[in-house]
Structure 1
């Protein structure tokens, strides 16, 4: 048989050339049966990837159409920059040239972003280490980097890409960034307003033209998301004050030629102010019209308020949900009388159908175990849909403190009109902290501290903490762990192990101390959804270590009862907390009651402490904070109250303007010894820091403090309360909440130790 030789070669630079080749009959070959297929040029790509993409196999008949399809399929993989097909003696040879892969991605000059953030942004457009590289991908990466900088108001940022080939057909990518200066808002105008002044409306915005604190708040940096939020705030402001037809007509944002100055103009039409003339109910209210009417917050005779309308419709929908109607629809239909500027509302209700929950589906918890979230739910699967229980469940999950966001959405079940699934979506946040700290003061010299806490250890919901302090006057090592669900009913168990060495009276030259070693076991029992009662037992041994400058009260106690005391106090407590935040609260109530009862052991006593805090918002910026604390201790069985259990007052956390722990009774040597009774009263008005806008992490406060401690047998006299007034700064810093106070004592007595400037990290008052 005469050996035939057919050979053709295709070299494709782009998909267009491939198509042109496929259409060109000059390159055609006669169909033949493929005897073998070989692949040449592979370095990293597996041959199986090539064979899986070819539209033919060994033994198939090859044609021009199949060759064109094969080339297109191989280019579509995105792995090759050149593909050729050769036919030699009925053997098809696929010759490829692989694209280089990205070996490394680096950034030069990027200061505004962490490199990991930029790498993540590029990964989303397809560029990452180990992936194939081409010029189009580099162009997209440049545009993505510029977009990231524009979001930070760095409109003049320039990005230059350098591609450096390295061994094994790889490339290193270097993005050199010239960030430039951020564009600042130089002009912010609201046009068309008549009822309210422009300064009043601009005061609602988080964006502004800047001030002396703009370097911290960055409020003068333009952000489209912030501008949208500010416009919604503006709209809500008008709609809550009767302007039913208020609208924002247009928003113009312009930037100067040098890309440094931004001007914003918002054009509004206020419309007329409307008064509510009446409210009526229509539709199906399940025969509970009177109950629904009690939920109406729209008030006839007063100005229209969109917040009240939304609150009413939400209350109706939620109330329908309490009876299992998950798909209830409530529409507030306005009937507008433009002649008299009055509006009546018709609340049209359709409860739709009753439903029950098929499944509770949890998502977003990459670290936290499902059971940690599921055990907080009060809405159970295969039970009737209950809106109250679902809201309570969401709040309970949110109060865990493990998540930045918690949302519960209702999803219909296809083919089952009476069933719904609950989609619980959480966004986790870091729950562990590791702190290494050092402090220096003229009294304590150098103090080192180490603290490691994990609120959600290993995703189990358990708390684990280790604390070490080397302060001159307060040395401590504390180990603590809490299992919030020691029992299936939600009874918590806490185990504490501690060793403290303290010197309560910070006088120079003294080397006496108190050493307390102990262990505690405490249980917390939930009595209601917001109330928890704690009870437990501690075992402690406190030793008075004599030394120079030891207070006479300590010597007197030691002579009477000994230098070492073993006690076994029973503990009982109660807590309730519904504040909107633990770091920067603006509303809510916090109450705490703790007590100890040492019924047996060397020391016999009872001790109780009650704290009450309330936060009252005056408006978006100003808050009143009230705090009260009462403490009482009493010796039992003829024994005096132990001096090492005394309360102390003075300084941050009690009465500012007086040295820490120096108020109250003194012994014959003149040392402050604390007391068995304590009274503390604080009042603050909290305001935004000038120039910080509505930023809640940096705030000013003015305060009034009153308080003192009294001996076990001394009456509590209001005329002996020390008082002070002052101002302070509160900052949620990267190392924790910081409070600085400058106080001026109003009522003080001879011998009181004054300290007008005080600061502390981590205290509430």
Structure 2
């Protein structure tokens, strides 16, 4: 209405200015009132030009055209002889947009939202945009469930036709979900469906959960989860008819109703492969995870397509595509499935490019690659290369992108970006452990010495039990084939009596030379020749068994050879969730040593994923020591112990097994330990990558010898444990109840270990 009035007034003024003639030919056009806007902008938007005939009818057209630009708050026209004079008043420019009170949404996100509605620094200020701006901001908060948000906008006028827009936000509280109602579901109960949702009522033990905080995006994800649940269970025609989100009058509570149409359940009648298979059809069919008679499952069909795609990727077809084509028989409620294979062009890798390695030499990363330049592209080799790079201690993250070479149909480049982790450190630390008391450590280590991937470390550790000095070096690629070589020199003083075991102390020093030979991607063989000198120091409370063993001397020299075979398929070395670790190791005190003996250690560890963030961990260890040659005993300082957080929780550290004449733990030469755990994230946190809890069952015992093994003597315990990889070190806690303890056992319900560095 206001613009029409201005157009009418402008027409009247122009008519008054043209009293001597209703029409004239424009000889020139002048613009008055411009401050920031260039004259060219006005001339570009004028619907008339020099030489045109101008009358009353065209005046309204000119005014409307200039108002449509949004740059002007007022436009008028005048005539001076045959010159058309355009007089404009510019809208103010936005100098600053100031936002305060926002905590849930960052400034950058809000600024992006304002920019989408035309409100940004330097742009022309238009009051008609304010309402759209406020609505956009409200929508941003509504999407996060904050329906009580209050937005106050103040426009502050400045000199030189500028304004500041000050936005004050009172976010309010997130509306909470009080109930989710499902209507139309017969195949599955509400509880079975809703437990998969991220939205809903928090579980009684989840004190800090935000599950009941409403979010439009989160609800959309839940609806997709619902759809997947039905499509994976054979309901091909499943549909979500409607979703109602009801807000209570006080805008604090939300009730969600989801209406579904399940349809009928379908089964697979036939599975075929089509297209250009490349690989033998029988081999590809073995990758298909559905069969005739199975319930239709979108997840298993997609998994089948992915498996075939990966198999073709191993043949060099990096961009293969497998399309599942279903033929639905509505009458018989069956689906005939054809997996159509389009392999595309076979490609090979031209170059492998690394970025982000500012400190590490390029060679260090290239030697980990299993995909070679010039070779056919292989999905398995690329994936394995990523894992090998990720397992390097000085690499934080790895991203691999496959990029087509411009102008070539059969070449790709691999662009690998790495994010390096700081690998050199000088640490001074203090901590506490129940078994060792206060701990002090001093260390200088470099996991990636001068960017070569070699490890160098110097360390000093001190506690009431141990004092250790050590220096070590490892070259993981002593040869191009990946054979590693390293050495360790050490000196260690141990006061065993501080561990509440047999009362003696030892001074040890020595060194080892270690070689590691990779046999396969997952198998490694290591052997370490070494020398160790041990001096036993007795005390007033030293047991008869110790005095008896050192009757001929308290100093021992050992020439040792250690070897091990390791098979490791775990997905991670810390907080693994799937895969297994198998290790067999032997240590031999060679002929010529003061005492000749060998130790055999077997370990088996399995991780079985049940679902996301939930897995079963199984661990078993058998340790055996035996003298040979002229010796009849294994040195007592090489005995095994059991009990405590590293073996059988609920019993004091090292307390299980044989005792000496002073009734102190003396250890033995045969030990069995096993653990079964249900691993899960803390229930009071939605997602935590540095904390894990477990419900565990431990069992184990140590015996004087293998012949003394008695299954009835195995001690068991059950409880709950937690490990937190905190910024200041690893913290472990456990609450355990001994299940079959005896009166002479030393129990300990709560056990912990805390470390800190500064």
Matches within 5 A, 1:357-376: 357-363=349-355, 365=357, 368-376=360-368
Matches within 5 A, 1:121-520: 181=173, 184-211=176-203, 214=206, 216-222=208-214, 226-227=218-219, 229-248=221-240, 261=253, 266-286=258-278, 288-363=280-355, 365=357, 368-400=360-392, 406-426=398-418, 438-439=430-431, 446-449=438-441, 455-456=447-448, 460-465=452-457, 467-506=459-498, 512-520=504-512
In 2 relative to 1, CA 21–123 (structure 1 residues): closer, same or farther, beyond 3 Å? same
Alignment of 1:580 with 2:602, yes or no, is no
Alignment of 1:757 with 2:743, yes or no, is no
Cα shift at 1:610: 1.4
- Work out the CA distance in 2 between the residues paired with 1:437 and 1:144: 52
Instruction: Give the match for residue 673 of structure 2.
Output: 680
Alignment of 1:628 with 2:620, yes or no, is yes
- Work out the CA distance in 1 between the residues paired with 2:140 and 2:360: 31
TM-score, normalization by structure 2: 0.74
* Greater Cα shift, 423-432 or 358-367: 423-432
Tell me the matched-pair count. Answer: 663
- Work out the CA distance in 2 between the residues paired with 1:491 and 1:12: 77
- Work out the CA distance in 1 between the residues paired with 2:501 and 2:611: 51
Structure 2 SS opposite 1:325: coil
- Work out the CA distance in 2 between the residues paired with 1:318 and 1:552: 66
- Work out the CA distance in 2 between the residues paired with 1:383 and 1:466: 42
- Work out the CA distance in 1 between the residues paired with 2:542 and 2:111: 66
**Contact kept in structure 2, 1:505 and 1:672, CA below 8 Å:** no
The correspondence for 1:651, drawn from 644, 656, 678, is 644
Structure 1 SS opposite 2:708: coil
Give unpaired runs (5+ residues) of structure 1: 1-9, 25-98, 163-172
Matches within 5 A, 1:559-638: 559-562=551-554, 564-599=555-590, 600-620=592-612, 622-638=614-630
Q: How much is the aligned-residue C-alpha RMSD, in angstroms?
A: 4.7
Instruction: Give the match for residue 58 of structure 2.
Output: none
**Contact kept in structure 2, 1:452 and 1:465, CA below 8 Å:** yes
- Work out the CA distance in 1 between the residues paired with 2:239 and 2:394: 40
Structure 2 SS opposite 1:209: coil
In 2 relative to 1, CA 392–446 (structure 1 residues): closer, same or farther, beyond 3 Å? closer
- Work out the CA distance in 2 between the residues paired with 1:120 and 1:475: 53
Structure 2 SS opposite 1:537: strand
Deviations 1:472-503 (A, max 9, x none): 12333444443322322222233334333223
- Work out the CA distance in 2 between the residues paired with 1:589 and 1:443: 29
Instruction: Give the match for residue 523 of structure 2.
Output: 531
Cα shift at 1:460: 4.5
**Contact kept in structure 2, 1:573 and 1:593, CA below 8 Å:** yes
Deviations 1:609-628 (A, max 9, x none): 11111122344465332111
Deviations 1:730-750 (A, max 9, x none): 555554554433333333345
Deviations 1:192-228 (A, max 9, x none): 4332222222211334433555554544445566555
Matches within 5 A, 1:728-747: 728-736=721-729, 738-747=731-740
Deviations 1:161-209 (A, max 9, x none): 99xxxxxxxxxx9999977655544444555433222222221133443
- Work out the CA distance in 1 between the residues paired with 2:407 and 2:609: 48
Structure 2 SS opposite 1:384: coil
Cα shift at 1:708: 1.4
> Which structure: larger Rg?
2
- Work out the CA distance in 2 between the residues paired with 1:151 and 1:573: 57
Structure 2 SS opposite 1:411: strand
Cα shift at 1:347: 1.9
Instruction: Give the match for residue 63 of structure 1.
Output: none
- Work out the CA distance in 1 between the residues paired with 2:205 and 2:245: 24
TM-score, normalization by structure 1: 0.73
Cα shift at 1:589: 0.9
Instruction: Give the match for residue 86 of structure 1.
Output: none
In 2 relative to 1, CA 594–354 (structure 1 residues): closer, same or farther, beyond 3 Å? same
- Work out the CA distance in 2 between the residues paired with 1:177 and 1:497: 63
- Work out the CA distance in 2 between the residues paired with 1:369 and 1:122: 42
**Contact kept in structure 2, 1:574 and 1:593, CA below 8 Å:** yes
